[in-house]
Amino acid sequence: MSETKKIGNRIAEARKRISISQTELAQQLFISPQAVGKWERGESMPDITTFNRLAEILGVDLNYFSDNFQSSVTGTSTSEPLENQSAELSTGRQKKNLVWDMSRMNLVDTDFSGLKNLH
């Protein structure tokens, strides 16, 4: 199974776990529902900046999308406002260290143009 297909399956699994539709996920990401459908079918993959927001919305660690993933859910609730989640991270109340191991991913077709906007 291709890496793109595996990531798509994980996106679909996490989305279904929190009971939201592709359309609802797309609205939260400010993209089209068709793009989410393409990700889930393994026809395309989110760009690197979208992965971070996707993980926040789905309530998963960024490593969830990699083959080496151990645990499936972070300690944050997706129904909680992102401002509160950010405050928890900065105050250290959330102990889990969010790390993304991209060493085994093929990112040849990934769009890195948005990296200048990361904080």
Residue 72 resides in a domain: yes
Q: Which helix (H) or strand (E) holds 39?
A: helix 33-41
State the pLDDT confidence band at 105, using cuts at 50, 70 and 90: low
What is the residue range of 40's domain? 3-104
Residue 118 resides in a domain: no
Q: What is the pLDDT of residues 29-78, one digit of tens each?
A: 999 999 999 999 999 999 988 999 999 999 998 888 887 665 444 444 43
Residue 27 resides in a domain: yes
CATH for 93: 1.10.260.40
pLDDT of 10 above 70: yes
Whole-angstrom distance, CA of residue 58 vs CA of residue 40:
14
Residue 87 resides in a domain: yes
Asked if 60 and 78 count as a contact pair (C-beta separation under 8 A), the reply is no
For the ranges 6-15, 29-38, 58-67, 95-104, the lowest mean pLDDT is seen at 95-104
pLDDT of 23 above 80: yes
User: With a threshold of 0.75, does the pTM exceed it?
Assistant: no
Domains contained in the chain, number: 1
